[in-house]
Structure 1
Amino acid sequence: MTTLLERIDSRPADDMAAPAVAGPEPAARLRATMAACRVQFTWFGTKRTLTAEQKAQAARAFDAEGHFLSAGKKLLDTKHSAFRAVTAIRTRATDHWRGLTLPFPEPGVRLIRHADVEDFDRRMADLREELEDAVVTLDRHFGELKEAASRRLGSLYCPSDYPATLVGLFGMAWDYPNVEPPAYLAGLAPGLYRQEQDRVKARFEEAVQLAERAFLDEFARLVGHLTERITGANGDGTPKVFRDSAVDNLCDFFERFRTLNVRSNGELDELVDRARQAVRGVAAADLRDSASARADVARQLSTVRESLDAMLVDRPRRRILRGSPAGGEA
């Protein structure tokens, strides 16, 4: 029985630790060690555009013309606890996917390490089961949600806007699309195959740029936030209060950077290491209780922040390669 990773990559599982693409280039490493990964959601739409007659009726209240008015109605209370539970699972699935992956210049596609595929697949399957259970719970409240909508929408309420059940109208799926040129082109059309190889190579080179830019932006934001919280003061001179997450999020970034770093920017690598050393062994409680700890961490992070600011200013504007349809960071 083949594993999921073997279905994505035809190389034997024992050979996957060895890069298939020679050379130290970051793009080659990405292409050799990562797979394309896509997550998609099916979601019941909770908004409807008003009919022309309804817009005309609404426009009269403002002495306006209906065809110059854009208006819609909300079918369900999305703040209801059962609906929020469904939405929370989608957020967790998206966060999990993005936390394990790097951007890729094709719509909805990101890159995941071969080593993470099996665990990712299991986690997403668990989340899909949670989603199905949450939708069943939401469906039990569907009647009361429609009654509430009828009261709130008044004459705009239309029973035909609502399905008989919400079960089956929310879902999530994920797959691993092939972004490599099809092998049959090599013998069928060698010239076209070479063009496709060049196109894929350019895509992975752009993926390196996107990853570097994403890491740089996130790192600068986290360092800036923590530095501001531990150096700033309230009006009465007392230190600003900050959440544990200010430190925890930076530490989480260090771990993700260590795992997913494409090693394309030595200066960024050095700054991340300096920031890691600055907060090593330091807990949020230490920064709250010790002025000397705050001063020491602030001093080290301030120099990191200055260098990051310079990198953000000097960062070149790279040409983004686009295919058809238009690509972009997922």
Structure 2
Amino acid sequence: MSVMLDEPDSQTTQLQGSRLQAETTAVRLHIRWPGTRKSLSRDQKQQAAGAFDADSRTLSAAKRLFDTSHPAFRAVSAVKTKATSLWKGMTLPYIEPGVRLLRRSDVSEFDSQLTNIQYELSESVNELDRCFSELVDSARDQLGHLFDPADYPTTVSDLFAISWDFPSVTPPTYLRTVSPELYQQECRRVQARFAEAVELAEQTFAEELSQLVNHLAERLSGSADGKPKVFRDSAVTNLTEFFERFQHLNIGSSDELDQLVENARQVISGVSPQDLRDRGSLRQQVASSLTRVESSLDELMSDRPRRNVIRGPR
């Protein structure tokens, strides 16, 4: 993989990058998951194409191996979602795919929570394994001639796994003695990457806040069929959760972004979803204030265009 980056545009950004590097550690989440679909064989595709008088070479077809809406499989999938949400929720983005930055003070908590999730996954997979024959029998009935017993393992207990590691994103220390010049070159490269990560974090926070503010403002504005638009409690609670996460993860690299987050927080501070449903004047006031925040966010993001990160073949 080759990466071409814009050079950090200021000494301030470099200093912020150095601080980010000192306060965080890189973390990867690994998820092993079986496929739930399988491409049809050549003969099967030819049969399917024949039904439409089509050339099988232009046809892409696959079969669903089993019902993924089954409660046991959905329970396993929910654990996967929980692990991914935790990983993303406790970390900042980094410029290498699959790698994020975790505050060093959060390492123990992160490890503990994922260990619990591993246990939840084990319990859910055991339950899925107990009723897997039921899913296979159902697939036999649903797939007809497409059913192939060879597609199904005798147990699924070893097909699911969640793990994590803390890869090094700093130059190897042996380079100091092998090639001091190369070591310094690598140090500068790492410094540039963390400077880029600072701006990537700002950009990610700004875009997420913009989406949340836009969604709530849109639901609070106007009406549908002569009645106020319906919105879920999550339209408000998602913003509250964002403010908590921003406060914890924010590296204080952008005064403008900090102020806009605070402005948005003040708009909904002490306001419950039910308040917005019951009080029309409050509803319009909040919508108007959020629209102003959104406009300021748009200006901020247009002044700071997306960084030019070009990734080569992986």
Please say if residues 206 and 321 of structure 1, whose CA atoms lie closer than 8 Å, have aligned partners that are also in contact. Answer: no
Identity %, equivalent residues: 50
Please say if residues 203 and 321 of structure 1, whose CA atoms lie closer than 8 Å, have aligned partners that are also in contact. Answer: no
Which one of 294, 297, 322 corresponds to residue 283 of structure 2? 294
Work out the CA distance in 1 between the residues paired with 2:48 and 2:13: 65
Please say if residues 203 and 301 of structure 2, whose CA atoms lie closer than 8 Å, have aligned partners that are also in contact. Answer: no
1:299 positional shift: 3.0
Moved more, 102-111 or 304-313: 304-313
**Corresponding residue of 2:51:** 61
Which one of 189, 208, 228 corresponds to residue 218 of structure 1? 208
Output one character per residue of 1:157-193: Cα deviation in whole Å (capped at 9) or x when no partner. 1111111111111111001111111111011111111
1:277 positional shift: 1.2
Work out the CA distance in 1 between the residues paired with 2:245 and 2:255: 17
Report which structure shows greater RCO (CA 8 Å, sep ≥6): 2
Work out the CA distance in 1 between the residues paired with 2:177 and 2:220: 62
**Corresponding residue of 1:122:** 112
Work out the CA distance in 1 between the residues paired with 2:82 and 2:229: 30
Which one of 96, 99, 104 corresponds to residue 106 of structure 1? 96
Look up the equivalent residue of 1:69 and give its one-letter code: L
Please say if residues 52 and 67 of structure 1, whose CA atoms lie closer than 8 Å, have aligned partners that are also in contact. Answer: no
Work out the CA distance in 1 between the residues paired with 2:220 and 2:97: 39
1:321 positional shift: 5.3
Work out the CA distance in 1 between the residues paired with 2:278 and 2:256: 33
Structure 2 runs not aligned, ≥5 long: 1-11
SS at match of 1:105: coil
1:202 positional shift: 1.6
Which one of 168, 171, 178 corresponds to residue 168 of structure 2? 178
Task: Say yes or no: does 1:95 pair with 2:85.
Answer: yes
1:31 positional shift: 0.1
Which one of 55, 72, 94 corresponds to residue 62 of structure 2? 72
1:303 positional shift: 1.4
Look up the equivalent residue of 1:83 and give its one-letter code: F
SS at match of 2:97: coil
Look up the equivalent residue of 1:65 and give its one-letter code: D
RMSD of Structure 2 on Structure 1 (CA): 1.7
Task: Say yes or no: does 1:232 pair with 2:248.
Answer: no
Please say if residues 233 and 240 of structure 1, whose CA atoms lie closer than 8 Å, have aligned partners that are also in contact. Answer: yes
Work out the CA distance in 2 between the residues paired with 1:73 and 1:229: 39
Look up the equivalent residue of 1:101 and give its one-letter code: T
Distance 1:26 1:58, change over 3 A: same
**Corresponding residue of 1:166:** 156
* Number of residue pairs matched by the alignment: 303
Please say if residues 13 and 198 of structure 2, whose CA atoms lie closer than 8 Å, have aligned partners that are also in contact. Answer: no
TM-score (norm 2): 0.92
Which one of 240, 244, 254 corresponds to residue 243 of structure 2? 254
Work out the CA distance in 1 between the residues paired with 2:175 and 2:112: 34
**Corresponding residue of 1:320:** 309
Look up the equivalent residue of 1:182 and give its one-letter code: P
Distance 1:88 1:251, change over 3 A: same
Output one character per residue of 1:32-90: Cα deviation in whole Å (capped at 9) or x when no partner. 00000100111111111111111111111111222222211111110100000000000
Please say if residues 91 and 101 of structure 2, whose CA atoms lie closer than 8 Å, have aligned partners that are also in contact. Answer: yes
Which one of 156, 181, 195 corresponds to residue 205 of structure 1? 195
**Corresponding residue of 1:187:** 177
Distance 1:74 1:140, change over 3 A: same
Work out the CA distance in 1 between the residues paired with 2:13 and 2:72: 52
Output one character per residue of 1:91-117: Cα deviation in whole Å (capped at 9) or x when no partner. 011001100011111121100001111
SS at match of 1:60: helix
Which one of 248, 253, 263 corresponds to residue 264 of structure 1? 253
Please say if residues 55 and 71 of structure 1, whose CA atoms lie closer than 8 Å, have aligned partners that are also in contact. Answer: yes
1:23 positional shift: 9.7
Work out the CA distance in 1 between the residues paired with 2:281 and 2:59: 60
Greater than 4 Å deviation, 4+ residue runs: none
Work out the CA distance in 2 between the residues paired with 1:204 and 1:325: 22
TM-score (norm 1): 0.88
